[in-house]
Chains A and B, each alone.
Chain A
């Protein structure tokens, strides 16, 4: 085997030319592109690091703000709870006071109503009792002589103060003045005569006495002067008893 030295030399030269060509057309552009890309990557990394640092700062600010907001929220919640508690306590106190007032008012109203009802009941009972008493008196047909009532009036006139008696006599001296005796049953002539004589004993100027009958006085007699009335009747006694019963309730 022989070597063609021309081919050997040409191939060596060809390879060196190829190295030169590829260095210009391939390796150099690739190296430049890689360097450029690396520079861009470095720049991007630097930018990313800068952004990361900014993001970290923003994150820290956000977390600080969040923590502050949480603290503020807690304080606000605490304040609101305290205010709500105080308002609740005040409302409860006010409600209790109002409830106590309502209870007191109700108690007072009940007491008042009970008193009124009791009074009404007592009035009705006393009225009923007096009506019953009046009915009984009416139906009892008490056999009390009219002279007994005359005696009572006579005794009353005797014990009458002198000034009053003089005033009564002066009234009867006036024009048209009349002394009237009212009884439940009509008086007999003898009884009328007896009344007249007794009354003239106390009031000498009296010439006549009028006699009237009123069933509603139930019993007894009334002496009517122009300005005064002397009563000794069952109706008057019952009325006084009614007043006494009503007066007791007020006491």
Chain B
């Protein structure tokens, strides 16, 4: 990346046919491979008396399942694959910034945008599946039909804010680290990197919780925000 080009521009690493493969996509594949391997390693022989890795994975999944249950206030397992994967992927993707040479996929707008778009679609999917199409659509005219435009607008704005919040935090953190490294040398960014760990986990949590709240509102468990 040179100063003459936009720091937000995608780094195209290679092409598969007509499809350009950018750096965030490759990083995401690496994260997917690592997560799949760890999960396979932890549960290749699942036992009631769990080993260390299995125990850690179970604790993470059960904590997320409990968190989701507290928000949607019903059986959480239909929502756990989406929401738990969202948190795990975002946490790992955000923390990938601490690995030298890696850039977090969430620091590029396409990844938060894709995740936000999936959350947007999931909200409507779970809402319609739970309430039926008519029942789900009816909530847009509540408490008054006059609020229909605002309700529709809020559907897009809240997803947009979800995307921008994550992208802004991670991108700005990446920029801050780059600037500090440029100005102060190699060891000065370490406190900022530690702060980046906190920011990465907090942002993953916020994104996941907000997605759970949106889904919960869609299925009628929580009031729409």
Contacts and interface: CB of A to CB of B under 8 A. Distances in A.
Given A15-B85, A25-B40, A34 B62 contact: yes
Interface string A56-72: 00000000000000000
B57 interface: yes
Interface residues of B, number: 47
Interface stretch (B112-120, B132-140, B150-158, B199-207): B112-120
Interface of B: 6, 8, 10, 19-22, 24-25, 28-29, 31-32, 35-36, 39-40, 42-43, 46-48, 50, 54, 57-58, 61-62, 77, 80-82, 84-86, 88-89, 105, 108-111, 113-115, 117-118
B39 A9 contact: no
Contacts of B31: 18
Given A11-B111, A11-B114, A30-B61, A21 B32 contact: yes
Contacts of B28: 10-11, 14-15
Given A1-B8, A11-B28, A33-B58, A6 B46 contact: no
User: Chain A contact residues: over half helix, strand or loop, or mixed?
Assistant: helix
Interface in A1-21: 1, 3-4, 6-12, 14-19, 21
B43 A18 contact: no
20 contacts: A3-B110, A7-B10, A7-B24, A7-B25, A8-B114, A9-B114, A11-B24, A12-B115, A15-B86, A15-B114, A18-B35, A18-B89, A26-B42, A26-B57, A27-B80, A29-B46, A30-B43, A30-B57, A32-B46, A33-B50
A40 interface: yes
A128 B109 CA distance: 162
A8 B62 contact: no
Nearest to A21: B36
B179 to A, nearest CB: 19
Given A11-B115, A26-B61, A33-B46, 10 more contacts: A1-B109, A3-B113, A14-B28, A14-B29, A15-B89, A19-B81, A19-B82, A21-B36, A22-B39, A31-B77
Contacts, number: 112
B48 A27 contact: no
B25 A25 contact: no
Interface of A: 1, 3-4, 6-12, 14-19, 21-23, 25-27, 29-34, 36-37, 40
A23 to B, nearest CB: 4
A57 to B, nearest CB: 31
B48 A12 contact: no
A21 B25 CA distance: 17
Most buried by B among A6, A9, A17, A36: A6
Nearest to A36: B48
Contact of A15 (B8, B20, B115): B115
Contacts of B110: 3-4, 7-8, 11
A47 to B, nearest CB: 16
Contact of B85 (A22, A30, A31): A22
A25 B39 CA distance: 6
A27 B118 contact: no
A122 to B, nearest CB: 117
B118 A33 contact: no
B61 A4 contact: no
B81 A6 contact: no
